[in-house]
Amino acid sequence: MSEYLIEVKNLCKKFPIKGGLFGREIGAVNAVNNVSFKIKKGETLGLVGESGCGKTTLGRSILRLIEPSSGEIIFNGKNIIDYTPAEMRAVRRKMQIIFQDPYASLNPRMTVGDILAEPMEIHGLHTDKVTRRKRLLELLNQVQLPSDALNKYPHEFSGGQRQRICIARALAVEPEFIVCDEPVSALDVSVQAQVVNLLMDLQKDLGLTFLFIAHDLKVVEYISNRVAVMYLGNMIEVAESSELYGHAKHPYTKALFSAIPHASTHGRAGRIILEGDIPSPMNPPNGCHFNPRCWNATDECRKSFPPITDQSGTHQFRCFNPIN
């Protein structure tokens, strides 16, 4: 058995843009462009990048909640890209997702007990009444909610508690892999740490593997073993957290991380301000997509798309002119 739970190879997702009188295809957004990465069992890969760079599209495409345009998704040694809906059902039990908004993702008319029982119902788990109830109480206990939560409705809970309900719902089917799409971004800062710590404890206890998407680079550094950076649909750099935060090779990563305040530099003294806006993903610039904003860009960067450089097998980046 491979040490990797999930291996993504050359994954692409194009969204066609339709327009005109007859709704013909007039272009496409390359939301995810030739992305490859692996996640080991029990590991957390953080995923960062500016709004619209394709993080959510990538996360959902891996679970085939959005159909990828091409590529391979190897989960537990099997390529699931061509699995039929029936085959996907069995795999989906092992791959779950937690969303950013714990308000929108819970049905307000269902009790917490029914919300947690629904995925078990779909997958035919714990079908008799006694074991079902036992499992429901176990789930509440795992996410540190009281057992009387079973008969309550989502509106009776705070944002942090609702996110715990969403986590319990994801755990209900005993997954191995969870895509966490900005799971704490909508929560108060004081609550964020509790939910992040809960996710880390659950990961340890249950041997979970995470793809953790977030804007907050501090949170990502805290929870992730390795971190990947996306820019305009491309994965431009991946490395161990400490390596990436300390020795970024790609100028975009460097600029992104320079925005984190450090006590030693009294705030944002070392901050790199990028010129210009993010280009449209419908019409990306030639060569390296970052070149119009890059202070290190050369003629080569304007002409060719940089291949992946693999430094000692643990640090990959797409840049012709990396930072030393």
Ligand X SMILES: Nc1ncnc2c1ncn2[C@@H]1O[C@H](COP(=O)(O)OP(=O)(O)OP(=O)(O)O)[C@@H](O)[C@H]1O
Judged by CB under 6 A, the residue of 44, 56, 163, 241 near ligand X is 56
Q: Quote the radius of gyration of the chain (alpha carbons, Å).
A: 21
Judged by CB under 6 A, the residue of 46, 54, 154, 251 near ligand X is 54
Positions 258 through 297 that interact with ligand X (CB under 6 A): 281
Nearest-angstrom CA–CA distance, 220 and 217: 5
Pick 136 or 199: Cβ nearer Mg ion:
199
> What does the H/E/C string look like for 271-320?
CCCCCCCCCCCCCCCCCCCCHHHCCCCCHHHHHCCCCCEEECCCEEECCC
CB of 56 to Mg ion, least distance (A): 3
3-class secondary structure, 195: helix
CB of 8 to Mg ion, least distance (A): 17
Residue in 196, 235, 288 with CA at minimum distance from that of residue 38: 235
Q: Is position 55 an interface residue for ligand X (rule: CB under 6 A)?
A: yes
Q: Are 322 and 249 in contact (CB under 8 A)?
A: yes
CB of 5 to ligand X, least distance (A): 22
CB of 61 to ligand X, least distance (A): 9
Nearest-angstrom CA–CA distance, 43 and 174: 17
Q: Is position 56 an interface residue for Mg ion (rule: CB under 5 A)?
A: yes
CB of 238 to ligand X, least distance (A): 16
Nearest-angstrom CA–CA distance, 83 and 91: 9
Q: Is position 52 an interface residue for ligand X (rule: CB under 6 A)?
A: yes
CB of 219 to ligand X, least distance (A): 14
Pick 55 or 250: Cβ nearer ligand X:
55
Candidates 46-54, 165-173, 258-266, 289-297 — which segment interacts with ligand X by CB under 6 A?
A: 46-54
Q: Provide the CA 13 distance to its chain's centre, in angstroms.
A: 15
Structure tokens at 159: 């944002």
Q: Is position 15 an interface residue for ligand X (rule: CB under 6 A)?
A: yes
CB of 51 to ligand X, least distance (A): 3
Structure tokens at 249: 């090779």
CB of 259 to Mg ion, least distance (A): 19
Q: Is position 96 an interface residue for Mg ion (rule: CB under 5 A)?
A: no
Residue in 179, 169, 240, 242 with CA at minimum distance from that of residue 208: 179
Nearest-angstrom CA–CA distance, 4 and 74: 9
Judged by CB under 6 A, the residue of 53, 106, 150, 223 near ligand X is 53
Nearest-angstrom CA–CA distance, 188 and 251: 31
Pick 61 or 161: Cβ nearer ligand X:
61
Pick 206 or 260: Cβ nearer ligand X:
260
Q: What share of the chain is helix, strand, coil (3-state, %, to 5)?
A: 35, 25, 40
H-helix or E-strand containing 164? helix 159-171
Candidates 48-56, 119-127, 196-204, 261-269 — which segment interacts with ligand X by CB under 6 A?
A: 48-56
Q: Is position 31 an interface residue for ligand X (rule: CB under 6 A)?
A: yes
Judged by CB under 6 A, the residue of 29, 81, 115, 297 near ligand X is 29
Candidates 52-60, 122-130, 187-195, 236-244 — which segment interacts with Mg ion by CB under 5 A?
A: 52-60
Number of residues engaging Mg ion in binding (CB under 5 A): 2
H-helix or E-strand containing 34? strand 24-40
Which residue ranges make up the site for ligand X (CB under 6 A)? 15, 29, 31, 49, 51-57, 281
Binding site for Mg ion (CB under 5 A): 55-56
